[in-house]
Chain A
Amino acid sequence: MTPLAQLSLDITWDATLRNVILGSMILGLTSGVLGTFAVLRRQSLIGDALAHAALPGICIMFMITGTRSSELLLLGGALSGLVGTLVLLAVTRWSFVKQETALGLVLSVFFGFGILLLTRIQHSGNSAQSGLDRFIFGQAATILPRDVAVMGIVAAVAIGVVILLFKELKVVTFDPAFAASIGMRPDLLGVVLAGLLVLAVMIGLQTVGVILMVSLLIAPAVAARQWTTSLAGMVILSGIFGMASGVAGSVISSLVDRLPTGPMIVIAASIIVIFSLLLAPQRGVLATYRVRRSRARRFRAELALTDHHGVSRT
């Protein structure tokens, strides 16, 4: 039996694999759509700080409730992710520390604290402890049908908000001063986008984990920008690239033994990025190189012509 035939059999019969693929698709779609705005607003790394800052929240939620349910743990993660983001914004606003420095600060302090808590939990002898480390690099196999349902609902809400507020998000992202002058609220919409980003990150923590999550926000959007000339096109394409990465990553990791799903999804997305950066028709490296070379050749030809006619070029 060919691997592909085997796979189609697996998907039909294997509920776990079906959950993984479905979950990865939802994750890719959501992070692709929201990553577009994060990238265009130059805030993609805020997603990184947010994801890392989720870890202590997950641990504290576990320590308080002793639960293993993903929803509760992710709720804890969302809360501490939000706290991390607020600290980041506050440090940037009220101190002389620059944003990228504050980013590094928040990211490492929160993540370090999370690891500290995680180590304590793992040495506490609590039998339910196993599995918390799945949030670091992600462990797609732990995704349950219930998790997929929650992910689906969260994704629907996030994408619904983007569709509803598309015009507003567009003008606020492109020209915030003008947007404010016509009565839009850049500050409010910024908060909405940050909230949606939190949702996207929470969807991804179980699959790709806090460390790799940011790449799913950035990669599909960067790739999509290469191929399209409109924001709607970029959002849709980025969602499709994200979904494709999710499916490809989870399928490949199921076909090959001992290949982790999360990192595989990230690698799939990265391959799409490399392909797009090189080959996109107008913005691709090859296209720009070709245009520049033909232009230089044309100039040289013209210059040779003027030289030939004895016209001084100095």
Chain B
Amino acid sequence: MTQATLTNVQTVPPLAKSVIEVRDLTVAYNESPVLWDLDLDIEPGKATAIVGPNGAGKSTLLKAILGLVPIAAGATRVYGAHLDTVRNRVAYIPQRGTVDWDFPTTALDVVTMGRYGRIGWFRRPGKADRAIAEECLAKVGMSGFAKRQISQLSGGQQQRVFLARALAQEADLYLMDEPFVGVDAVTERAIVELLHAVRDAGNTVVAVHHDLESVPAYFDNVVLLNVRLVAAGPVASVFTEENLRRTYHAPANPIGADGTTTTVRAGSEMAPVKAMLR
């Protein structure tokens, strides 16, 4: 049954060695799987967008790669190894809305948290760590806000602080969950510039992304996801009308509760696609 669908899936032939390898990955929080039998390779040195409708498993894919959710079947590898051995090469930016921004701390302190992984258990961040944190805060244009309470920052500024924290990790791979949600236009442009700078320095960027229109301008590669992988590869060849339709039309769950295949998403979920294709 899965075989028929898989023949339609386009995947990139692994040109260079993949930064992330996902093999037969299935993740389920309850009865219905969030990710189903996923095979995926992320190309090094590129900015890749993960695109798909709500509930397609985009965030879950990042979390599965990071080992933050239990995997029902399959495996993921980062830089050809188990994540534990390469953690310092990976920076993760969770969705901004997942933390309590009323937490008593300053922008600089949050950025310093980016150093914690390298500092290791029990030890305190030192002068060098603080200097790096200040530098990273400057890179996102937030130097003047170092001592500011994070609750007093705008949504865009909070997102920049998260980005600075990721930069402070001095990683090679950046996994971002919806970095553009709820930010102003100025911040969006700043984030894109930074994202491209990070990529041009030879790093790999993978971002869950919502806005279909900006995909070609912001990203090199795209992963079209709706529980199953629909297509993955260079934007030019993969980001097509046909593939988008299949991504946003595909059944949300491969197997419904009654064992039959159901088509759940259409209508409103298709609106962004239709707007794009006009």
User: Which of A80-88, A110-118, A161-169, A209-217 has 4 or more CB atoms under 8 Å from chain B?
Assistant: A161-169
Chain B 65-101 near chain A by CB (<8 Å), digits 1 or 0: 0111000000000000000100100101110001110
CA distance A16 to B62 in the complex (A): 60
A177, B104: Cβ atoms closer than 8 Å: no
Q: How far is the CB of A25 from chain B (nearest CB, A)?
A: 24
Number of cross-chain contacts by CB at 8 Å: 72
Across-interface contacts of A165 in B (CB, < 8 A): 122
Across-interface contacts of A179 in B (CB, < 8 A): 116
Chain B 112-130 near chain A by CB (<8 Å), digits 1 or 0: 0100110101111100000
Across-interface contacts of A173 in B (CB, < 8 A): 103
Across-interface contacts of B87 in A (CB, < 8 A): 181-183
CB of B149 within 8 A of chain A?
yes
One of A164, A174, A184 near B103 (C-beta < 8 A): A174
A171, B103: Cβ atoms closer than 8 Å: no
CB of A180 within 8 A of chain B?
yes
CB of A40 within 8 A of chain B?
yes
Across-interface contacts of B66 in A (CB, < 8 A): 180-181
A interface residues, how many (CB within 8 angstroms): 25
A182, B117: Cβ atoms closer than 8 Å: yes
A228, B169: Cβ atoms closer than 8 Å: no
CA distance A183 to B90 in the complex (A): 11
- Specify which of A164, A165, A174, A184 lies most central, judged by the most chain B CB atoms within 10 Å of its CB: A174
- Specify which of A165, A167, A180, A182 lies most central, judged by the most chain B CB atoms within 10 Å of its CB: A182
CA distance A28 to B113 in the complex (A): 30
B104, A233: Cβ atoms closer than 8 Å: yes
User: Which residues of B165-180 are within 8 A (CB) of A?
Assistant: 165, 169
CA distance A233 to B147 in the complex (A): 14
One of A171, A183, A225, A233 near B113 (C-beta < 8 A): A171
CA distance A87 to B116 in the complex (A): 34
Across-interface contacts of A183 in B (CB, < 8 A): 84, 87, 117
Question: Nearest chain-A residue to B84 (Cβ)?
Answer: A183
Q: How far is the CB of A301 from chain B (nearest CB, A)?
A: 25
A177, B103: Cβ atoms closer than 8 Å: no
CA distance A181 to B109 in the complex (A): 18
B116, A171: Cβ atoms closer than 8 Å: yes
Chain B 6-46 near chain A by CB (<8 Å), digits 1 or 0: 00000000000000000000000000000000000000000
B149, A229: Cβ atoms closer than 8 Å: yes
CA distance A233 to B124 in the complex (A): 16
CA distance A194 to B123 in the complex (A): 22
Across-interface contacts of A184 in B (CB, < 8 A): 116-117
B99, A175: Cβ atoms closer than 8 Å: yes
Across-interface contacts of B169 in A (CB, < 8 A): 182
CA distance A225 to B102 in the complex (A): 10
Q: How far is the CB of B64 from chain A (nearest CB, A)?
A: 12
| Given known A-B contacts A175-B94, A178-B92, A184-B116, A168 and B121 have beta carbons under 8 A apart | yes
A40, B113: Cβ atoms closer than 8 Å: no
Q: How far is the CB of B86 from chain A (nearest CB, A)?
A: 11
One of A171, A177, A178, A229 near B106 (C-beta < 8 A): A229
B90, A230: Cβ atoms closer than 8 Å: no
Q: How far is the CB of B68 from chain A (nearest CB, A)?
A: 5
CA distance A297 to B122 in the complex (A): 51
Q: How far is the CB of A92 from chain B (nearest CB, A)?
A: 16
| Given known A-B contacts A174-B113, A175-B99, A229-B149, A181 and B90 have beta carbons under 8 A apart | yes
Q: How far is the CB of B133 from chain A (nearest CB, A)?
A: 13
CB of B63 within 8 A of chain A?
yes
One of A40, A177, A228 near B94 (C-beta < 8 A): A177
Q: How far is the CB of A225 from chain B (nearest CB, A)?
A: 6
Q: How far is the CB of B152 from chain A (nearest CB, A)?
A: 9
| Given known A-B contacts A180-B68, A184-B116, A231 and B99 have beta carbons under 8 A apart | no
CB of B54 within 8 A of chain A?
no
B124, A181: Cβ atoms closer than 8 Å: no
Binding site for B on A (CB under 8 A): 40, 164-165, 167-168, 170-171, 173-175, 177-184, 225, 228-231, 233-234
12 residue pairs from A and B, CB less than 8 Å apart:
A40-B100, A174-B105, A175-B99, A177-B92, A178-B92, A178-B113, A180-B68, A181-B92, A182-B117, A230-B104, A231-B105, A233-B104
7 shortest A-B CB distances, which residue pairs?
A: A182-B117, A181-B92, A177-B94, A175-B99, A174-B103, A234-B104, A181-B66
Since A177-B92, A182-B87 are in contact, a sample of 19 more A-B pairs with Cβ atoms closer than 8 Å, ordered by chain A residue number, is A165-B122, A167-B123, A167-B124, A170-B105, A173-B103, A178-B92, A178-B94, A178-B113, A180-B66, A181-B68, A181-B87, A181-B92, A182-B92, A183-B84, A229-B106, A230-B104, A230-B109, A231-B103, A231-B105
